[in-house]
């Protein structure tokens, strides 16, 4: 019998200033979720941020509030790679992610199907431990699903710096899973990273102060995502070079949707919340923007 590999998720240590226990984290998540409303339209996919919970916890709640645990059995978590160069996507080498709330089990059946395609690499344990884009979504996933915590699995996927053609290939691959109403896709992404430390300082003076320009820039991108058009989203990124760190996972999801639309599936994205870690007013300032977005599909009603 093979020994299960377990990765302990250091959410408490890394993203809650090292001071919060599991019960405190649970209470924090409950507090954020209690402050937002459900649309009563279960999410088929969400785009939610992964900055520190101090900055994005409240924003992310708007997306996770739309998750229906009674119909969700598998959760695909697509996060961008921040620490290692990847030209493809990578799968975890462990079986279980241990969170401060409870353990999340990786779906080895789905992993086996993905691995057989030859399109994936394996994450090293060090990469898995270092990467926060997936890690930040695990406590929220656990919290959103706690009423059915023994009835679902997760499929974490680390997404590399994919070319447009690769985004199309992975989109086509994941489209069959997106078509299944018992699957939920979580795309991990912050929006504009602005300031000298991010080497990005786009500023449209016609919008007013810098933070207003950032918001305008992000909302242009969000509007294109709402159109479900991966080509337009790619062209937007080429024109403005907006530092949306999850642009490749978003591209994969948009391409998966495009594939399903060929079969007549009617999908829509709705933007729920937008926030910035701080309001930039001068060139010395910096900020990371966050947004919560959810997609539903009339196909399943």
Task: Work out the average pLDDT over 57-73.
Answer: 95
Position 298 scores a pLDDT of 46
- Gyration radius of the chain over CA positions: 18
Please say whether the beta carbons of 268 and 66 come within 8 A: no
CA-CA distance, 197 to 47, in Å (whole number)? 25
Asked if residue 10 has pLDDT above 80, the reply is no
Domain ranges of the chain: 43-296
Asked if residue 54 has pLDDT above 80, the reply is yes
Task: Work out the average pLDDT over 22-47.
Answer: 92
Position 300 scores a pLDDT of 35
- What predicted TM-score, i.e. pTM, was given to this entire model? 0.92
- pLDDT tens-place string over residues 196-213: 999 999 999 999 999 999
Position 87 scores a pLDDT of 87
3-state secondary structure the chain: CCCCCEEECCHHHHHCCCCCCHHHHHHHHHHHHHCCCCCCCCCCEEEECCCCHHHHHHHHHHHHCCCCCCCCCEEEEEEECCCCCCCCEEECCCCEEECCCCEEEECHHHHHHHHHCCCEEECCHHHHHHCHHHHCCHHHHHHHCHHHCCCCEEEEEEECCCCHHHHHHHHHHHHHHHCCCCEEEEEECCCCEEEHHHCECCCCHHHCCHHHHHHHHHHHHHHHHHCCCHHHHHHHHHHHCCCCCCHHHHHHHHHHHHHHHCCCCCEEEEEEEEEECCCCCCCCCCEEEEEEEEEEEHHHC
Q: What is the share, in percent, of the chain residues with pLDDT greater than 90? A: 77
Asked if residue 7 has pLDDT above 80, the reply is no
CA-CA distance, 160 to 157, in Å (whole number)? 10
Question: Which residue from 138, 106, 153, 285 is spatially nearest to 211, judged by alpha carbons?
Answer: 285
Mean pLDDT taken over the chain:
90
Please say whether the beta carbons of 59 and 273 come within 8 A: yes
Matching residue, tokens 């591209």:
251
For 105, the token pair is 């089990």
Asked if residue 299 has pLDDT above 90, the reply is no
Q: What is the share, in percent, of the chain residues with pLDDT greater than 70? A: 92
Residue 158 to residues 113, 213, 217, Cα–Cα distance (Å) = 16, 31, 26
- pLDDT tens-place string over residues 91-138: 999 999 999 999 999 999 999 999 999 999 999 999 888 888 999 999
The CATH superfamily holding the domain 43-296 is LigB-like (3.40.830.10)
């Amino acid at each position: 019998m093979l020994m299960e590999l377990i990765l302990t998720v250091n959410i408490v240590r890394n993203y809650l200033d090292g001071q919060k226990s599991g019960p405190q984290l649970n209470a924090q998540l409950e507090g954020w979720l209690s402050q937002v409303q459900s649309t009563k339209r279960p999410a088929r996919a969400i785009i939610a941020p992964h900055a520190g919970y101090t900055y994005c916890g409240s924003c992310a709640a708007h997306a996770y509030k739309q998750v229906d645990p009674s119909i969700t059995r598998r959760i695909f978590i697509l996060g961008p790679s921040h620490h290692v160069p990847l030209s493809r996507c990578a799968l975890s080498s462990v079986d279980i992610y241990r969170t401060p709330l409870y353990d999340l089990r990786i779906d080895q059946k789905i992993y086996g199907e993905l691995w057989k395609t030859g399109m994936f690499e394996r994450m090293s344990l060090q990469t898995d431990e270092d990467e926060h884009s997936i890690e930040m979504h695990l406590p929220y996933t656990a919290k959103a699903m706690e009423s059915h915590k023994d009835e679902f699995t997760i499929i974490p996927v680390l997404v590399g710096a994919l070319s447009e053609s690769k985004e199309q290939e992975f989109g086509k691959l994941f489209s069959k899973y997106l078509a299944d109403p018992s699957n939920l896709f979580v795309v991990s992404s912050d929006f504009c990273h602005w300031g000298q430390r991010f080497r990005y300082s786009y500023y449209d003076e016609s919008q007013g102060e810098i933070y207003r320009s950032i918001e305008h820039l992000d909302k242009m991108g969000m509007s294109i995502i709402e159109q479900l058009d991966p080509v337009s989203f790619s062209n937007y990124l080429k024109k403005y070079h907006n530092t949306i760190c999850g642009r490749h996972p978003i591209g994969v999801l948009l391409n998966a949707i495009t594939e399903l639309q060929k079969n007549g599936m009617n999908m829509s994205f709705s933007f729920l919340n937008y926030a910035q870690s701080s309001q930039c007013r001068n060139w010395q300032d910096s900020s990371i923007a966050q947004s919560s977005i959810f997609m539903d599909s009339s196909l399943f009603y």
